[in-house]
Amino acid sequence: MLKLIQNEWMKLWHKKGTWAMVALVILFIIGPGIMMKYYETKEGSTWQESEQKSIDNYKDIINDDNLPAEDKTYYEEQIAISEYRLANDVPTQDLAGFMSFTGSMLTLVTLFTVIVAASIVSSEFSTGTIKMLLTRPVSRAKILTSKLLTTFIFGLLLYVVNVGVSALVGLILFGGTTGAELEIVNGQVVEKAVWNDLANHYLLSGGDFVMSMLFAFLVGSVFRSSSLAIGLTMFLSFTGGMIVMFLSKYKIVKYVWLTHSDLTQYERSSSILDGITMPFSLTILAIYAVLFLVISYISFMKRDVTA
């Protein structure tokens, strides 16, 4: 198995597109970081001065008699948070804040992993190298497993690159100081556990990452078309929310994997639909994951490739 994975890994990195994916992940972190630092420096003011300006602006907005009550409450909370920052010397931008921002770019990691998952099997059929691969004294199941594990390892590598480069760029541009994210709880300003929330976000983002990868792997294996696998997977990823909302009046929506793949919905202590919980979502995702894998393996092992 290790030899098979090594072979797949070498073939993957032999492609220029693989290097381009890693480079793009890095550039999409460095670019916004430099821009954020540039505009921060261009303003020529400290974060304390910017925070005081925000307080003054919020107070001017609150003085508007036509302002709805909900908006007034919101701005009053923002004033309380800003005043807390000034009183306790809590900066607005720091290393953790930048990493929290780049955490939203995990969608790019998922996209690139989907591209690899969709093509790692289908490309063998399109180029005809699948015949040479299957002449080895190794079962088809092992061959497909090595491709799946290689894809998963590549996705984890992109995850590590995202976290590592984010930490490095944030440390260089914003220093090692750690501020805090603030929120209003029961009328009091409290500090959120930034690093715990960040780690939780990366962990929960794995739901969409794993399911998108397995679905692309399934379509690529069954239909031998990487373009179909990539297109269909990304279509479902971007329109999944709308599909769930459209099916929300039917009970079956609770058993559709798109309803549960975005586990970050539980960060907000609220789910897309009422009555679903984290354990229930994980159970549904596990069932679909097994189903995707079973179909992929059956299709690959039963297919005639002599034609």
**Cβ atoms of 244 and 256 closer than 8 Å:** yes
Q: Is the dihedral of CA 55, 31, 17, 14 positive or negative?
A: negative
Q: Are strands 188-191 and 182-185 parallel, antiparallel or unpaired?
A: antiparallel
Distance CA 194, CA 157 (A): 24
pLDDT value of position 293: 93
The residue type of 133 is: L
Q: Which of 276, 219, 224, 225 is nearest to 253 (CA)?
A: 276
**Contact residues for 6 (Cβ-Cβ < 8 A; gap 6+):** none
One DSSP character per residue, 213-244 reads HHHHHHHHHHH--HHHHHHHHHHHHHHHHHHH
State the CB neighbour count (10 A cutoff) for residue 189. 18
207-235 core/surface letters (b: 16 or more CB in 10 A; e: else): bbbbbbbbbbbbbbbbbbbbebbbebbbe
Distance CA 148, CA 154 (A): 10
pLDDT value of position 292: 93
| pLDDT tens, per residue, the chain with 307 residues | 888 889 889 988 998 989 999 999 999 999 888 887 777 676 656 667 778 888 888 888 888 878 888 888 888 888 888 888 888 777 665 677 777 777 778 888 989 999 998 888 888 777 777 777 777 778 888 888 999 999 999 999 999 999 899 888 888 887 765 556 677 777 777 777 667 777 888 888 888 899 999 998 898 888 877 788 888 888 888 887 788 888 878 888 888 888 888 888 887 666 667 778 888 889 999 999 999 999 999 988 887 765 5
The residue type of 209 is: F
- At residue 181, φ and ψ (nearest 5 deg) are -90, 135
Distance CA 289, CA 255 (A): 13
Q: Angle at the Cα of 274 (from 202 to 77), degrees rounded to 5?
A: 65
- Rounded to whole angstroms, what are the CA distances from 186 to 55, 194, 196? 21, 19, 21
Helix extents (H) in 128-181: 129-134, 140-174
What pTM was computed for the model? 0.78
Q: Which of 263, 116, 275 is nearest to 201 (CA)?
A: 263
pLDDT value of position 79: 86
Q: Which of 96, 117, 108, 100 is nearest to 27 (CA)?
A: 108
